Amino acid sequence: MANAKKKTIKIKQIGSPIRRPAYQEKILIGLGLGKMHRVVEREDSAEVRGAIAKLPHLVQVVEG
């Protein structure tokens, strides 16, 4: 099982956290984002999907 490939998802920040509630900025930082148009690759898990669902106006799934 250690050699099994884990599914990943690419997430792009499309909105600014300025003038947003503090918890939304914390979720962005938790995803590894924080600056506009930055793209990160994360494991495709329920936790990451939940964070994306809380910020549909700030992030976009690029592929996954």
Percent above pLDDT 70 for the chain: 92
Question: Cα separations (Å) of 49 from 1, 10, 18, 44?
Answer: 23, 11, 23, 7
Mean pLDDT (the chain) is 93
pLDDT higher than 60, residue 52: yes
Domain ranges of the chain: 8-63
User: pLDDT value at position 63?
Assistant: 83
pLDDT higher than 70, residue 41: yes
**Which CATH superfamily hosts domain 8-63?**
Ribosomal protein L30/L7 (3.30.1390.20)
User: pLDDT value at position 36?
Assistant: 96
